[in-house]
Structure 1
Amino acid sequence: MFRCSDVVLAAWLLPAALAATCARAGDLPEQEAWNAHVQATYVWQAKPAFDAAYNGPASLAPWRETGYSFSATAAFGMRPWQGAELYVDPEVVQGKPMSGLHGLGGMTNGEQQKTSGLTPTVYRARLFLRQTWELGGDRTAVASDMNQLAGSVAARRIVLTAGNLAASDIFDNNSQAHDARSQFLNWALLAHGAWDFAADARGYTWGAALEYYDGDWAVRAGRFIMPAESNGLALDTRIFRHYGDQVELEHRHAWLGQAGTVRLLAFHDRMQMGGFRDALAAAAPGIAPSVADVRRERGKTGFGASLEQALGENAAVFARASRNDGQSETYAFAEIERSLSAGVTLRGATWGRTGDTVGVAAVRNGLTQAHRDYLAAGGVGAFIGDGRLDYHPERIAEAYYKVGLGEHAALSLDWQHVANPAYNGARGPVDVFGLRLHGQY
């Protein structure tokens, strides 16, 4: 059983959405009535030229390229009544993706939005209400953070979150691989790679999630609206007809006196989607198939398992495994239908650099046979399509070193190696080098 009294808790291992650490009653912080936080993140990446037997309409360009992204977010929170928290986040983004954001299953910059351009764009990222009904038990401290008011919560509670937010704010909240602003950058390390979660082209949606916490256990379920068209910005508001549903079971535990968390997630999407087999059957001889020509009402189902485990005060490991049925087009996230990932993070206190962190991870992404046949016939998806296909699983290695620049800023160096980009053994491998500057207050 996970208990604050008998576990050496690594505070950095707990979910970022809670940022909570166990505390004695006398250590609990005062309840914040309101707060305001800001963040800014700049990511620059470059890749050298690499070998490619051929190029297609959605290939990663084989010549040298650079790209960048910039985001700045303000987060305002307040308590309108007992148990309630209201948050609003205005945000601005700007960027230039490499290869027009094409040519990879696991994209290399999790801060790179599908709609970013050279002109700064301002919009509302989040506007949501969180209502908590406390049912008793030990209290846990909650630190002041973006979209989080300082205070404490009971071990047994029900939480309802509704409004405009990201589904990944609530689900698959792995503390070691979840935030491209401070952790790994690759898309396949931000969430379950095969989880085609509801989101517009910026990564946000509208909907609601209900959570129940009871000591070591938590269960949550949510429904969110999907984009009106594949990977588009506009959302389809018909939430009872087109939607993304997910349910997750979470258990926190202690292993050899160290904190850990296991999560199991299942999802089901319902939209007008094109099927790969339908597109192949409908294509005229000599003409590349297109999922856009065969869209109809259909569902997509998948699941994922996640583990994070502290190995002491300054080390932790994590792993994810996910898959979806892979019979229809990618609708909102990455062109991944099978994904395995694992990694380790070490805090710099081990070598006398308290503010530093190093992370190393490996990913293996795959596609179903239906999707492979579609690409081999010249089909193109939202992000990939080389015109032909010599299928091999896409393999990614990523390492970063984050240097703390005082309490509120960090500079990270990042390296990613991608073998078989877009699952094509006839192209690559490719190396991507990155620099990230992040500040938060």
Structure 2
Amino acid sequence: MRLQPPSFLLFLQMVLATAACAATALAHADDKVPVEKHQLGHPLPHEGPEPTPDNVVTENWNFFGQYTNVTQWNRRFRSPRPVIEDTKTFLPTPQRESTNDATFFIGLRLAPQTEFYINPEIDQGFGLSNAMGIAGYTSGTAYKLGQAKPYAKLQRAFVRHTVNLGGEVQALDSEANQLSGKRTADNLVFTVGKFSVVDIFDNNRYAHDPRGDFLNWSVLDSGAFDYAADAWGFTFGAAVEWNQGDWTWRNGVFNLSTVPGSTKFGFNFKQFELVTEVERRHQVGERSGAVKVLAFVNRGYMASYADAVQWGIQNAQTPDVEAVRKRASNPGAALIVEQELTPTLGMFVRASANSGKKETFDFTEITRSLVLGLSQNGAPWGRAQDTVGVAVVRNHLSKSGQAYFDRGGLGILIGEGYMPYAPEGIVESYYQWQLSKWLAVALNYQRVSKPGYNYERGPVHVGGLRVHAEF
């Protein structure tokens, strides 16, 4: 594990210094009523009465924070060929790595229905094999660029404006990136700035938060949804959500990175992503659920796998996507389902696909993906705040993608110099103990068969320990 004590102490010093600066700035902003804090993505019950339109306090600002450590390890696994230098391979030797991140969620009300949020963050650490070699990568807290020393980034900075259209008046609780207040059930919500595409699209209440539920990339998000993002999962863009009764229609335009897999963005939006999603909420008896249909298209300078292979043949070289990039589009779609089965048990489905003809732009090399999962809280055994989850994943790569990687091509996450192809299979399970209102600990296990679609390698057994604290 690369994390050394001096680096960890420096990480803590940076966290405390950033928190102190933010708290000092907000302390003079306005007088406010203390608010409830929540498990990010998994709100905890209130100690007092639930907020209603009659008792909710309209906040002018709020401030939350979180810290998460994820440590993962894997055993030695079958890998008959030696690892080729300068490829993107999940190493077959035993490994242990940790990631640390601390985030501060600062919200300010600019006008009665307009809010501004910023999320400075401090990160440190590495994913196993530096987050390479598995298309459905094993940790949502491991970014594509690992770093031994802690560093600070502004991950989100956005404005949200709500237009009330009528209907029942609803109370909004005080949460990370949400000020308490009121709005009508029917509304338009506009979001502009820097944030993550999957903050708004492709949500699932059972599997979407690596700090509170599953860890695998292709469980947290639809695997074939190549959403615009930098190495940390964020981009610049705008979205509008129209909520009307049991329906929501979301639309967004987002900036793709300058070149596929880059950490940089241009600001002319010549390379962009368009996303639309329709959600229908429903009741099956007394059990709530939702169905979402998402479609997207990426438009920019990207390579066709077939063109890269042909270029390699003509030049007697390894296929090179950089040599054949041209302006093109890559479309895709996803189906997201969530459904309560009992008062304590829920199920979810994610099915996604893209054309498979073009190189991946910003997420991971998955052409088709299917995920089935269950989430159970611990009420039946007297631990109502605990959660146990299990998910099964099947990831596929297109024929043209297989040809590209088999001839030695490299992608964003995978590329071993050869590819005796087989679909990538993943099973993930976790148990999270809610030790207190502010502290949770989770054990995680993943079994990855045919990592990186390589029939000869694996299975990989990955254990994990997550510690999550918030205030």
TM-score interval, normalised by the smaller of the two chains: over 0.9
Aligned pair partner of 1:317 in 337, 343, 347: 347
2:415 matched to 1:397? no
Q: In structure 1, what is the Cα distance between the partners aligned to 2:53 and 2:152?
A: 42
Q: Which residue is equivalent to 2:439?
A: 409
Paired residues for 1:10-29 under 5 Å: 16=41, 29=56
Residue among 263, 269, 275 paired with 1:246: 275
Q: CA shift at 1:313, angstroms? A: 2.4
Query: After the TM superposition, which residues 209-248 of structure 1 pair with which residues of structure 2 at under 5 Å, given as runs?
Result: 209-239=239-269, 241-248=270-277
TM superposition shift of 1:97: 2.1
Pick one of 428, 433, 440 that aligns with 2:458: 428
Structure 2 unmatched ranges of 5 or more: 1-39
How far the C-alpha of 1:375 sits from its partner, in A, is 1.1
Structure 1 counterpart SS, 2:223 = coil
Cα distance change, pair 354–242 in 1 and its aligned pair in 2 (3 A)? same
Partner Cα distance (1:65, 1:111) in 2:
17
Taking the aligned partners of 1:432 and 1:249, their CA distance within structure 2 comes to 35
Matched AA of 2:321: V
Distance in 1 separating the partners of 2:283 and 2:377: 20
Q: Structure 2 vs 1, CA of residues 19 and 244 (structure 1 numbering), >3 Å: closer, same or farther? A: farther
Contact 2:443–2:464 under 8 Å retained in 1: yes
2:26 corresponding residue in structure 1: none
Partner of 1:183: 213
- Closer, same or farther in 2 for the Cα pair 1:161/1:18, shift >3 Å? farther
Residue 281 of structure 1 aligns with which residue? 310
1:53 aligned partner: 80
Q: Match for residue 196 of structure 1?
A: 226
State the match for 1:137 in structure 2. Answer: 167
Unaligned runs of 5+ in 1: 1-14
- Alpha-carbon distance in 1 for matches of 2:167, 2:406: 57
SS of residue matched to 1:317? strand
Task: Check if 1:38 corresponds to 2:69.
Answer: no
Distance 1:335 1:370, change over 3 A: same
After superposition, the Cα gap between the structure-2 partners of 1:201 and 1:20, relative to the gap in structure 1 and judged at 3 Å, is farther
Counterpart in the other structure of 2:238: 208
Q: Secondary structure at the match of 2:385?
A: coil
Would you say 1:257 and 2:286 are equivalent positions? yes
1:369-414 per-residue CA deviation (whole Å, 9 max, x = no partner) reads 1001111112111111122211111000000000011011100000
Q: Distance in 2 between matches of 1:403 and 1:335?
A: 33
Q: Comparing 228-237 with 411-420, which one deviates more in the overlay?
A: 228-237
Structure 1 pair 395–28 and aligned structure 2 pair: CA distance change class (3 A) = farther
Which deviations, in whole Å up to 9, do the C-alpha atoms of 1:199-220 show, x marking residues without a partner?
A: 1111111110011000100001
- Alignment of 1:291 onto 2:324: no
The one-letter amino acid paired with 2:76 is A
* TM-score normalised over the length of structure 1: 0.93
Assess if the C-alpha contact under 8 Å between 1:195 and 1:323 holds in 2.
Answer: yes
- Report how far residue 29 of structure 1 moved: 2.1
Aligned to 2:23: none
**Partners in 2 of 1:134 and 1:106 — Cα distance?**
40
Task: Say which of 365, 368, 392 aligns to 1:335.
Answer: 365
Contact 1:365-1:395 within 8 A present in 2 as well: yes
Q: Which amino acid aligns with 2:277?
A: E
For residues 360 and 105 of structure 2, the distance between their equivalents in structure 1, rounded to whole angstroms, comes to 31
Residue 6 of structure 1 is matched in structure 2 by none
The one-letter amino acid paired with 1:85 is E
Give the residue type in structure 2 aligned to 1:52. Answer: S
Distance 1:269 1:20, change over 3 A: farther
Normalising by structure 2, what TM-score?
0.87
Whole-angstrom CA distance in 2 between matches of 1:290 and 1:139: 56
Deviation at 1:420, TM superposition (A): 0.5
Query: Residues 289-341 of structure 1: CA distance to partner in whole angstroms, max 9, x if unpaired?
Result: 11122111111100000001112321111111000001111111111110000
Q: Which amino acid aligns with 2:72?
A: Q
Amino acid at match of 1:260: G
**Cα distance 1:338–1:242, how it changes in 2: closer, same or farther (>3 A)?**
same
Letter in structure 2 aligned against 1:281 = Q
Alignment correspondent of 1:12: none
Aligned pairs for 1:97-116 within 5 A = 97-116=127-146
Deviation at 1:27, TM superposition (A): 6.0
Distance in 1 between residues matched to 2:440 and 2:195, nearest whole Å: 26
- What is residue 126 of structure 1 aligned with on the other side? 156
CA distance in 2 between partners of 1:140 and 1:116 (Å) = 42
Q: CA separation in 2, counterparts of 1:117 and 1:396?
A: 27
Letter in 2 for 1:175: R
d(CA) in 2 for partners of 1:197, 1:160: 19
Distance (Å, rounded) in 2 between the aligned partners of 1:20 and 1:28: 17
Give how far 1:286 is off: 4.7
> 1: distance between equivalents of 2:201 and 2:53?
31
